[in-house]
Every structure is written in structure tokens, then in C-alpha cells.
Amino acid sequence: MKKPFLIMVTLFAFSGAACAAVNINSATQAELETLHGIGPAKAKAIIDYRKKNGLFKLTDDLEKVNGIGPGIIKRVRKDITVGGTTTVKKEIDPPPGKRNQSAGR
């Protein structure tokens, strides 16, 4: 009885990591900017490349985008995909009492 439960827990733990991916073929600029090393200019370059050349066939094709090299590909490879839907981990907002308390003063 313990073995099937352990298998289910293990599969669930690994499936959560697999779901956190940005589809570089459909992601918005904001979604692309969640990737480590991708700021507004590179996110826009990805979108512009996509519009001009069509969809990426492989994640490594991202290297064809001006300004994106092997180092960035290495950092984001585990977080990108060319299929499926984009699932971005949303940052949790701080509780109302912990927000920027100096605002409005």
C-alpha cells in the first residue's frame, strides 16, 4: 500500500516542474520576460523574429534571434518549450499590510 502512494507522490512532484514552461511560439512579451536573462528588448526581439520567420521548430532555434546566444539558451532551456501552453509561475503578492508602506506618504 505504501509503494503505490510513494510512486504517486514522486510523479506529482516531478510533474509540477514539467508544467512550468514558457512556449516561445506563443508567449507574450511579459511571459518571455519571466525567463532568466530575457528582458524587454530580448523579449521583443523574440516576438519580432517569430512574426518575421514563423514558429520555432526547436528550443535551440531561439539562438537565431539577435542578442540571444548559447549562454542564455543554457539558462532557459529547462524553462522553455515550442509546444503546449505557457504556464508561468506567478509571484505571490505580499499581504496587504506588508506592501510598500512608504507609498503615499
Residue spans of the domains in the chain: they are 20-89
Check residue 1 and report its DSSP letter: -
Report the pLDDT value the prediction gives residue 68, as an integer from 0 to 100.
95
The tens digit of pLDDT for each residue in 18-38 reads 445 999 999 999 999 999 999
Give the residue with greater pLDDT, 79 vs 86: 79
Report the pLDDT value the prediction gives residue 1, as an integer from 0 to 100.
58
* Percent of the chain at pLDDT exceeding 70: 64
Report the pLDDT value the prediction gives residue 56, as an integer from 0 to 100.
96
Q: Is 101 left (phi over 0), alpha (psi -120 to 50) or beta?
A: alpha
Q: pTM of whole model > 0.85?
A: no
Q: What is the mean pLDDT of the chain?
A: 79
| CATH architecture, domain defined by 20-89 | Orthogonal Bundle (1.10)
**SS3 of 5, please?**
helix
Q: How confident is the model at residue 86 (pLDDT cuts 50, 70, 90)?
A: confident
